[in-house]
Every structure is written in C-alpha cells, then in structure tokens.
Amino acid sequence: TEEMAFIAAREGFDPEFVRSEVARGRAIIPSNRKHPETEPMIIGRKFKVKINSNIGNSAVASNIEEEVEKLQWSALWGADTLMDLSTGKHIHETREWIVRNSPIPVGTVPIYQALE
C-alpha cells in the first residue's frame, strides 16, 4: 500500500519487509480511515523506537487552544504518538480538535469521556 511504502522509506526498509512484519503480527500501523490527517507510521521490534507524548485538560484547567498547542509542540519536538488524557470539560470537542490537528496517531481513554 501507499502507507507501507511511506513507512518503508521513513524507516529505511523495503516495503515488502514492512508488509511481512505486519502480516506476521510483529508490527502494527496505527491508522483510522476517519483521521486522514495522520501520517503513516509503524510500531514493532524491528523498527525505530517511538516516543509518546501525554497531554490533556483537567477540571482545573480546560482550554482547547492550549491542548492543540501542546499537540503541536509534541509533534514538533519529535513525538511519534500522542495520548489525550483529558478529564476536564468538553472532552469530546477537545479530542475532536486534537485529532483534526494531529499529524501523529492519537490515543484516548474512552472511560474519561463516558464519565463527563
């Protein structure tokens, strides 16, 4: 796929090696068709180490613009993935803004949103 070719170039491997590692369950390509903003990347033993960044608002401080700015700084300084650990107000809207502005995969904790 185009994504595997992109990943192979980025990681310094042949696209067939990327496909093989994914097919064997030794690597994953975190992806969501509903989030086309994300650049393809891979996580697995044979690939480069990945850096995760954690951000999120709280009941004390809840500002969407600040969370998007944290995302932008995380990506700028080399984060490969991001976790939104928001527990404050407007979690759904905050996450939507983060995801729509993120060039890296975003993970969340759905129970936090369910409890809002």
pLDDT tens, position by position, 66-101 = 999 999 999 999 999 999 999 988 899 999 999 999
Average pLDDT over residues 62-66: 90
pTM of this structure = 0.86
Asked if the model's pLDDT at residue 37 lies above 80, the reply is: yes
Asked if the model's pLDDT at residue 44 lies above 90, the reply is: yes
pLDDT at residue 115, as a whole number: 78
C-alpha to C-alpha distance for 25 and 21, rounded to whole angstroms: 6
Q: Where are the domains of the chain?
A: 2-44, 52-114
Find out whether 73 and 104 touch, Cβ atoms under 8 Å. Answer: no
pLDDT at residue 113, as a whole number: 82
pLDDT at residue 112, as a whole number: 85
